[in-house]
Amino acid sequence: MISPDCPIALMDSGVGGLPYLAAARRLLPAERFVYLADRSGFPYGTKSPEAIRDIVLDRVARIVSAHGPKALVIACNTASQAALGAVRAANPGLAVVGTVPAVKPAAERTRSGVIGIMATARAVQDPYLDELVARFAKGITVLREGPQDLVQFVEHRLFSATGSERRAAVEPAVVRLLEGGADEIVIACTHFLHVSDDIAVLAGRGVEVVDSRDGVARRLKAVLAERRLLARQGAATRETGRDLFLLTGEEPFEDEYQLFATSFGMRSPAALGGRPT
C-alpha cells in the first residue's frame, strides 16, 4: 500500500543521480530515500534506447518489489529519454519524475545566442533532445558534446584523481563549446554534476553552467503534494545513514562506492536484490 510513510526512490546508471538526491533531501527533509546506482547496467550512454528501456524496467520492478516506494525519480537524462513512458505505463500507481535537460532556461538566458549541451553519447543524438531544442531554443545555436569518457571518469576516478586530472577530463568538451561561442552550458548528464565546479572554473566568468537538480526536486515535491503523499513534517528526524544506497551486480563493490556513500551521508552500499526480470 502506497502511503506517506513509504520511501522515495531515485535511480541512475551509477552515481550521477546523487546530486539530485542531495537536492531532494534539501527540499524534503522529512522524507526517507532509497538510491539505486545501476552498476551492472552502467554505462547507459553507449547502449541503444531499447536496451536502456529494458534495463530500466527491470531495475524499477526490483526496486518496487523490494522497497515499495511512493515515488521514483529517474535521475538520469539518458534513461528518462529512453524509458520514462515505459516506466509510467508499467507502474500506473507510482509517481514517476524524469530528468529533462535545462535547455529552456539556458535558451532564455543566453546573450550570445549560443548554448552548449553536455550529455551522454546516446542522449546528444536522441530525437527527444531535438524536440526540446525545436520547442524551447528557436533561433538559438545549440552545440552538443557527448563525452562518454567523462562519465567513466566520474564513476570510477572521481575520488582518486587530482584536481588537474579532473580539469583535464572536462577540458576537451568545454573548450569546444567555448570556442563555438556558448555562454550557457547545460549539464544534461547527471554524472557531470560531480565535476560542475571544474566546468565552471574552466568556462570562466560570463558563462553560466545550468542543470535541472532543483527543478526535479520541486517537481517531486509537487507530485507528492498532489497525491497527498508528503511525509508528515517532523515524522523522521534526519540522521546520517537513514537513506539506503543500493547497487546492482555482484559484491565485492569497488571502494569508490563506499566513498560516495560516505560523502552523501548514507550507509555502506548494499545489493539491490530481487531477480532480474
Q: How far is the CB of 101 from ligand DGL (least distance, A)?
A: 9
Torsions phi, psi for 96 (to 5 deg): -120, 125
- Under the binding rule (CB under 6 A), the answer on residue 13 touching ligand DGL is yes
Q: What is the dihedral of CA 42, 46, 48, 49, to 10 degrees?
A: 70
Q: Which of 34, 178, 189, 217 is an active site residue? A: 189
- Establish whether 6 is a catalytic residue: no
- Under the binding rule (CB under 6 A), the answer on residue 212 touching ligand DGL is no
- Binding positions for ligand DGL, 122-141, rule CB under 6 A: 123
- Under the binding rule (CB under 6 A), the answer on residue 44 touching ligand DGL is yes
Separation between Cα atoms, residue 165 and residue 55, nearest integer Å: 32
Q: What is the 3-state secondary structure (H, E, C) of 218-261?
A: HHHHHHHHHCCCCCCCCCCCCCCCCCEEEECCCCCCCHHHHHHH
- Under the binding rule (CB under 6 A), the answer on residue 12 touching ligand DGL is yes
Mapping DSSP to helix (H, G, I), strand (E, B) and coil, where does residue 137 land? coil
**Does residue 73 contact residue 13 with C-beta atoms inside 8 Å?**
no
- Count of residues in the chain: 277
- Under the binding rule (CB under 6 A), the answer on residue 82 touching ligand DGL is no
- Under the binding rule (CB under 6 A), the answer on residue 19 touching ligand DGL is no
Q: Site for ligand DGL (CB under 6 A): which residue of 67, 144, 166, 191?
A: 191
Query: Which residues contribute to the site for ligand DGL (CB under 6 A)?
Result: 12-13, 16, 42-45, 76-78, 120, 123, 151, 189-191
The set of catalytic residues is 76, 189
